[in-house]
């Protein structure tokens, strides 16, 4: 079964190293919390807020071994008042987990985005 997993995180500055570290932390946490390995990944779509352009999150994913996973990066639409400095991901994965069992991961300031999906 293919399922979607959402995740997001933030950085403090438009800095390539910060983007890499935050993206890798997010991706590793998603895999860990959902008991997945790289072989389970179908594809990933990353978006960044318009204030982030120092690096591609896809490069960060390649840095942790996602060489064969199809990856795409895009800019988030600039909605007034939206959370700044934010990296989002939608992962498509092969899993036997039900939708209720999927753990969506929101880190740092991104916990504000989906309080309904974040453990208190």
- Can you tell me the distance from the alpha carbon of 9 to that of 25, in angstroms, rounded to the nearest whole number? 9
Domain layout of the chain by residue ranges = 2-113
Q: For residue 37, give the 3-state DSSP assignment.
A: coil
Query: Mean of the pLDDT values across residues 59-77?
Result: 97
Fold of 2-113: 60s Ribosomal Protein L30; Chain: A; (3.30.1330)
The tens digit of pLDDT for each residue in 10-49 reads: 999 999 999 999 999 999 999 999 999 999 999 999 999 9
CA 45 remoteness from chain centre:
8
CA distances from 62 to 20, 23, 108 (A): 10, 11, 22
Q: For residue 113, give the 3-state DSSP assignment.
A: coil
* pTM assigned to the model: 0.94
Mean pLDDT, the chain, rounded, equals: 95
Would the pLDDT of 120 be above 50?
Answer: no
The H-or-E segment that residue 58 falls in is: helix 57-62
- Report the Cα–Cα distance between both ends of the chain, in Å, rounded: 29
Q: What single-letter DSSP state applies at residue 55?
A: S
């Amino acid at each position: 079964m293919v399922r979607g997993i959402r995740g997001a995180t933030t950085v403090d500055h438009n800095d390539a190293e910060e983007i890499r570290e935050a993206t890798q932390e997010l991706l590793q946490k998603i895999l860990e919390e959902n008991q997945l390995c790289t072989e389970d990944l179908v594809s990933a779509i990353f978006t960044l807020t318009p204030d982030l352009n120092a690096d591609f999150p896809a490069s960060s994913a390649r840095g942790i071994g996602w060489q064969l996973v199809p990856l795409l990066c895009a800019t988030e639409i600039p909605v007034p008042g939206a959370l700044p400095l934010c990296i989002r991901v939608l992962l498509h994965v092969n899993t036997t987990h039900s939708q209720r069992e999927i753990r969506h991961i929101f880190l740092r300031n991104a916990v504000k985005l989906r309080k309904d999906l974040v453990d208190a």
